[in-house]
C-alpha cells in the first residue's frame, strides 16, 4: 500500500507495508516504513481487514469478455439473457462505471479508464458473474 498524497504543510509522505504475519481471522501484524521528505521511520502495526474485493472467474460460465487484456474496447457476449446491468470496479473496489446492455453481444468502450486491473460485475435476471480484465 502506497500513499503518495500531499499533506498539509506541503509534505510528501509514503507508507509501505514491508512484512506481514497473519494472526487470526482478519488480523495481521505488519512492519510499516514511513518516509516523509528526507526522514524515514519504521513502526510495527496491527492491521485489521474489514472488507475486501474478491474476484472469482470460475463462476462466469456463459459470459465472455474479450480481448483481455485490451486497449479499452471490449466485446461482452452473454449466452443467456440479453439484458444485464454492468458495474466496473477498479483494483481498490471503487465503482468506476455503471451501465446496462440489452443484447447478448455488446461493444463496451472503456478507453477512458487508466491502465490497470478491473472487475466487471454482470447482473442478469438469473445470476451475477464477475469477470476480471486488464486495460493496457
Please say if the pLDDT value at position 1 is more than 80: no
Residue 126 φ/ψ region, left for φ over 0, alpha for ψ in the -120 to 50 degree band, beta for the rest: alpha
Please say if the pLDDT value at position 24 is more than 70: no
Which tens digits make up the pLDDT trace of 71-111? Answer: 999 999 998 767 899 999 988 889 999 999 999 899 999 99
Which tens digits make up the pLDDT trace of 113-123? Answer: 999 999 999 99
Among 28-42, 63-77, 105-119, the minimum mean pLDDT is found in: 28-42
Amino acid at each position: 500500500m502506497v500513499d503518495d498524497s500531499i499533506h498539509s504543510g506541503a509534505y510528501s509522505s509514503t507508507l509501505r507495508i514491508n512484512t506481514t504475519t497473519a494472526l487470526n481471522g482478519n488480523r495481521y501484524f505488519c512492519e510499516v516504513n514511513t518516509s516523509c521528505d528526507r526522514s524515514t521511520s519504521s513502526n510495527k502495526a496491527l492491521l485489521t481487514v474489514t472488507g475486501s474485493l474478491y474476484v472469482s472467474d470460475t463462476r462466469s460460465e456463459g459470459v465472455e469478455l474479450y480481448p483481455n487484456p485490451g486497449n479499452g474496447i471490449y466485446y461482452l457476449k452473454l449466452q443467456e439473457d440479453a439484458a444485464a446491468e454492468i458495474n466496473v470496479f477498479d483494483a481498490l473496489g471503487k465503482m468506476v462505471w455503471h451501465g446496462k446492455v440489452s443484447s447478448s453481444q455488446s461493444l463496451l468502450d472503456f478507453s477512458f479508464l487508466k491502465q490497470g486491473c478491473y472487475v466487471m460485475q454482470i447482473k442478469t435476471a438469473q445470476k451475477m458473474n464477475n469477470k476480471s480484465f486488464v486495460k493496457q
